[in-house]
Amino acid sequence: MLAKKLANLSARPQPLRSALCSALLLGLAALGTPAFAASTRVEAPDGVFDGKLDTTGAVREFLGIRYAQPVTGDLRWKAPQPVTRAHGPQDATKNGSHCPQTFSPYGNGDPGDGSNGTAEDCLFLNVFTPNHRHDDNGRDRDNGRGDRDDDDAHAVMVWIHGGALVVGESNEYDASKLVEKGVVVVTINYRLGALGFLAHSALSGESPDHISGNYGIEDQQEALRWVRKNIRAFGGDPDRVTIFGESAGGLSTFTNLVSPTAKGLFDGAIVESGAYQQTQPTLAQSQALGGNFATAVGCTQSTPAAVLACLRALPVSTILANQAATFSGLGPAPTVDGKVLTQSIGPALASGQFNRVPVMNGTNHSEWNLFVGQDFDLTGHPIPNTEAGYKAAIATLTGPAAAPIVAAQYPLASFPSADLAFGAVGTDLVFACPALTADKLTSPFVPTFAYEFNDPNAPQNFLPPVSFTYGASHASEIQYLFPQANPSAFGLKLPQTPLNASQQQLSDSMVIYWTRFAKHGDPNGSGNPNWPVFAGNTQTIISLVPATPTTETNFTIAHHCAFWSALLGAGATN
């Protein structure tokens, strides 16, 4: 350690000590490394890892760390198995393989490692940690930003990527801005699509717990166990772990929040646009879908053992080619299997039968605009600006019977176009009002902090321009936390629009809110506007608007949540 080296120098004759100190300081300056820099070699319980510094020298990166045994061969469609300690140092300077997926704007089907997106051996994580050590009093010597973490170890934030549980990967999220605030960030891969969420009676039959279908969630929990066991070696505090994720990553966060098998694995939860599915299918329902998949791929043998042999012999490309027909709608879903999930998310939150940790939950003001662009305009079929065309679009979400009722609540004449009118409908039905429901359910039991991301000019870096403004659409808040504008645009090679000055100010505030929550279970402090705890009687939330966040109290009215509650039944949206 540098402190010990300097102490040893004090015993030497004064001229020699002075010369050696000068040389040491000059050497450090020449390297451009902080005087209290930490080593890029870490020895943890599960191995010795050689990482690297990021391009700024402020963040140590440990990439492609295996957290579970390869889920290949006989381990396909089985719970992840703990990793075994490797002999000798492990290279942690390169990302591991992405989990198998097809090409999309939101994930990299080809990770550039020659696997063409079909490498099942993909259960890797990345650790990003500040490049400095604490002083002798346990303080961060080189933070200097008024947000010092005075404990011996940093709070930990574990990011669960989105992508409808079918696409996405951990590699493309630049955690430097979060790490700058004195936290350790871990990003993880987990099994996707059919490989991560297929249930089948034959799979359940071989399971000691008689379950199947939640392999991706079990992967996330195995990663959290790895974090609990190893993160202190990287400067993290295993007793201050916050899980956070967006879209399917937010749904995963809620799933872990209510999962009995995740008890004790984390201490806080941040959900970004993840409240869209509060009722999960039963094991029987998921197994029926799995039976359809087995039929589609020709695994219809007469015995369970033969079916399993057939399924495990399938090429990954065949699985990817056939999974879309099995998982329709918003993609695969976690299954109420009796172990990983004993009940759906909504009922678990309502009854208080969940892992009681502080919760931050939010949504974006114009979530559904992304899907309008993706599913209508960019397919060459924009929604006609006619009542008939508008109602036909609504029917894709609500069914034809409810479409006229919804169209009357959201009159086409009140919007610049049918695209934006339908965007408002989808936002409120799928995201906004379910998020409000979740806030109402968790707030009686745990401190709950609710937000709405409200930048109407947020850059859209996932999809090309369309005839309307995307606004604060789905996933547009990610770039305010992770500096890289779009973690998944490499497939489309779209030009990336950077944040302007006021958006950067909002980004700074959001990063402080997120990291303060991870450290203290409360986002407040460090000069940001006060973020009140959510209460059912006032429903005050923070509005993340550039340049300075403010509070809002009209979320229910603005998003027509009373209407949706009445239309869908009591408790559906409030």
Edge-to-edge strand order for the sheet containing 47-50?
41-44, 47-50, 89-91
404 CB neighbour count, 10 Å cutoff? 14
- Say which DSSP state 134 is in: B
Distances (CA, A) of 448 to 384, 423, 510, 524: 41, 27, 16, 12
Residue 247 is among the residues annotated as catalytic for this protein: yes
CA distance 361 to 63: 29
Token code pair at residue 459? 């850059």
Write down the catalytic residue from 204, 247, 259, 344.
247
Q: Rounded to the nearest 5°, which phi and psi values hold at 442? A: -80, -30
CA distance 261 to 241: 16
Which of 363, 366, 352 minimizes the C-alpha distance to 446? 352
Please list the alpha-helical segments (H only) found in 358-476: 369-375, 387-398, 403-409, 418-426, 433-442
Q: ∠ CA 25-30-33 to the nearest 5 degrees?
A: 80
Asked whether the beta carbons of 473 and 461 are under 8 A apart, the reply is no
- What are 61's strand-pairing partners? 52, 128
Residues in the chain: 574
Write down the catalytic residue from 172, 180, 272, 367.
367
Q: Rounded to the nearest 5°, which phi and psi values hold at 140? A: -75, 115
Reported as type and span, the H/E element at residue 63 is strand 59-66
318 CB neighbour count, 10 Å cutoff? 13
Asked whether the beta carbons of 44 and 83 are under 8 A apart, the reply is no
CA distance 219 to 225: 10
Sign of CA dihedral 70, 72, 77, 78: negative
Residue 120 is among the residues annotated as catalytic for this protein: no
* Strands (DSSP E) found in 247-353: 268-272
Torsion of CA 459, 461, 466, 467, to 10 degrees: 0
**Which amino acid is present at 49?**
F
CA distance 363 to 376: 22
Reported as type and span, the H/E element at residue 321 is helix 316-326
CA distance 352 to 350: 6
Asked whether the beta carbons of 320 and 102 are under 8 A apart, the reply is yes
Asked whether the beta carbons of 476 and 425 are under 8 A apart, the reply is no
SS3 content of the chain, % helix, strand, coil (to 5): 35, 15, 50
CA distance 427 to 370: 10
Angle subtended by helix axes 283-296 and 304-313, to nearest 10: 60
CA distance 407 to 395: 10
Residues tagged active-site: 247, 367
